[in-house]
């Protein structure tokens, strides 16, 4: 990457016996919105705190704009950050909160005023400058926190689950806004979240973390459609999982015997016939046919979700499969269902603890 702003090389960090970061390598470019996605305890927040300088990695280097900052304290890294719970200074007004980074840099009064003006226009906070944090609504606090992060025009903005404490509607609105700020400022945003929808909506690229390890890094589309590991396949979207024994592998497509049904998917992990494998198929990639198909069953229930619906299909042997699709009015409970999918859109991995 030629315009790299943030570069993490071989970062590792242990808290006692717990590996919070295990040999992490990340590069984030000048205009990128980069999401760090993972379940809680996956080490994504530790990652962000290390970039900010609030934690020190045990090994590895962190550089920002080509400068090695691994041993620099947070206050010399020249970054902006938006914290979970906002963390506004309760004894300072909105204006004082926003201008805090400039004050720390020793900016002139004129500079501070100009930047305050600019950033309050950007995040729509005009007229609230003299209020105290406790006089603001949740959404307003969020905007102040963003303004404080952006006001010094940092080379990099870090965001730690900034939307976790907002209600759903506000969250949707802020997702769009945050993306707008990033495009307007053309600086990289590194965004930590456990909410994949948030990550998908805003980011260009994302990294998926688990137990301190980077499972996969890449464009959000390729992560979603071409998962490289079992964890990523199971984590993104709402996939159905089938575990069985591989009967054959041909041209990269594995044939898996799942309770007598024959299931096909792309083979990963060098699967060989006889291996135990688990296959993931995202619910919207399963198509409902008039007849035939790999699996047949009856419609047990329809969960209507507005723009789409989940169809719960019982296979008769007790297994159940979820299929997502456009809401249809014609289907009734108990109707016979024929399911199939393009094997190039399903992925099979070696099952944990399965035969080698």
Partner 1 sequence: MTALRIGKGVQILLLAALYVFLYGPIIYITYVSFQANSVWPFPPEFTAKHYISLWNEENYHSGFVNSLAIGIGTGVIASVLATMAAVAILKYRVRRSVYIAGLFLMPLFIAHILIGVSSLMFNKMLLGLPGNIFSAILANATYATAFAFLVVVAQLARYDWRLDEAAMVFGATPGTTFREVTFPLIWPAILGAFIVSFLLAFNNLEISFYNLGATPTLPTLAWGSLRHGVSEELYALAALINVAVFIFLGVMYVLLRTGVVRLDYKD
C-alpha separations of 191 from 84, 208, 276 in Å: 11, 12, 37
Strands 80-82 and 157-160: parallel
Q: Are 268 and 342 in contact (CB under 8 A)?
A: no
Question: Site residues for partner 1, window 30-69 (CB under 8 A)?
Answer: 52-54
Q: How many residues bind partner 1 (CB under 8 A)?
A: 29
| In the complex, least distance from residue 58 CB atom to partner 1, rounded to whole angstroms | 17
Among 87, 164, 185, 309, binds partner 1 (CB under 8 A): 87
What secondary structure does DSSP assign to 167-225, as a single string? -HHHHHHHHHHHHHHHHHHT--EEEEES-HHHHHHH-SEEEEEETTEEEEEEEHHHHHH
Block residue for tokens 């550089």: 63
Each residue 198-237 as x (binds partner 1 by CB under 8 A) or -, in order, gives: ----------------------------------------
Interface stretch with partner 1, choices 24-32, 84-92, 170-178, 185-193 (CB under 8 A): 84-92
- Binding of residue 308 to partner 1 (CB under 8 A): no
Residue 71 sits in the site that holds partner 1 (CB under 8 A): no
Of the candidates 94, 88, 153, 149, the one whose C-alpha atom is nearest the C-alpha of residue 126 is 94
CB-CB neighbours of 252 under 10 Å: 12
Pairwise CA distance, residues 68 & 351, whole Å: 41
Asked whether position 15 contacts partner 1 by CB under 8 A, the answer is no
What is the distance between the alpha carbons of residues 142 and 49, in angstroms, rounded to a whole number?
20
Q: Which of 3-11, 70-78, 268-276, 313-321 is the region at the interface with partner 1 (rule: CB under 8 A)?
A: 70-78
Residue 166 in contact with partner 1, rule: CB under 8 A: no
Closest to 34 measured CA to CA, from 72, 5, 55 = 5
Least distance CB 59 / partner 1 (angstroms): 21
Q: How far is the CB of 51 from partner 1 (least distance, A)?
A: 10
CB of 44 to partner 1, least distance (A): 17
Minimum CB separation of residue 123 from partner 1 in Å reads 16
Whole-number Å distance between alpha carbons of 338 and 55: 53
84 vs 314, beta carbon nearer partner 1 = 84
Residue among 153 and 276 whose Cβ is closer to partner 1: 153
Work out how close the CB of 181 gets to partner 1 at its nearest, in angstroms, rounded to a whole number.
17
Give the position of tokens 């840099």. 105
Beta carbons within 8 Å of 175's beta carbon, 6+ residues apart: 163, 198, 201, 202
- Which 101-140 residues touch partner 1, going by CB under 8 A? 101, 103-105, 134
Q: Is 188 in the site for partner 1 (CB under 8 A)?
A: no
CB of 53 vs partner 1, minimal distance in Å:
7
State the residues that interact with partner 1 by CB under 8 A.
52-54, 73-81, 83, 85-87, 89-91, 100-101, 103-105, 134, 148, 152, 158, 165
């Amino acid at each position: 990457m030629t315009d790299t702003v943030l570069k993490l090389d071989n970062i590792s960090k242990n808290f006692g016996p717990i590996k919070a970061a295990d040999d992490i390598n990340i590069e984030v470019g000048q205009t990128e919105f980069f999401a760090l996605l993972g379940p809680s305890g996956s080490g994504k927040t530790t990652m962000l705190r290390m970039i900010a300088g609030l934690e020190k990695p045990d090994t590895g280097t962190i550089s920002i704009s080509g400068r090695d900052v691994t041993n620099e304290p947070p206050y010399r890294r020249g970054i902006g950050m938006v914290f979970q719970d906002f963390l506004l200074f309760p004894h300072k007004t909105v204006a004082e909160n926003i201008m805090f980074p400039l004050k720390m840099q020793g900016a002139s009064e004129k500079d501070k005023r100009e930047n305050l003006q600019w950033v309050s226009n950007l995040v729509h906070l005009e007229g609230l400058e003299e209020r105290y944090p406790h006089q603001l609504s949740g959404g307003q606090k969020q905007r102040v926190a963003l303004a404080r992060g952006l006001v010094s025009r940092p080379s990099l903005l870090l965001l730690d689950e900034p939307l976790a404490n907002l209600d759903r509607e506000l969250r949707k609105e802020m997702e769009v806004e945050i993306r707008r700020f990033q495009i307007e400022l053309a600086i990289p945003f590194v965004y930590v979240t456990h909410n994949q929808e948030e990550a998908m909506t805003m980011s260009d690229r994302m990294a998926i973390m688990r137990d301190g390890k980077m499972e996969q890094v890449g464009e959000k589309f390729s992560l979603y459609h071409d998962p490289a590991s079992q964890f990523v396949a199971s984590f993104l979207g709402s996939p159905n999982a089938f575990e069985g024994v591989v009967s054959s592998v041909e041209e990269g497509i594995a044939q898996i015997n799942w309770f007598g049904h024959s299931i096909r998917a792309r083979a990963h992990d060098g699967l060989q016939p006889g291996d135990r494998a688990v296959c993931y198929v995202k619910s919207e990639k399963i198509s409902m046919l008039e007849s035939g198909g790999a699996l047949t069953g009856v419609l047990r229930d329809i969960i209507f979700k507005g723009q789409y619906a989940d169809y719960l299909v019982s296979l008769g042997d007790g297994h159940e499969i979820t299929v997502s699709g456009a809401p249809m009015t014609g289907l009734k409970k108990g109707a016979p269902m024929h399911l199939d999918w393009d094997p190039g859109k399903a992925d099979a991995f070696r099952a944990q603890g399965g035969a080698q």
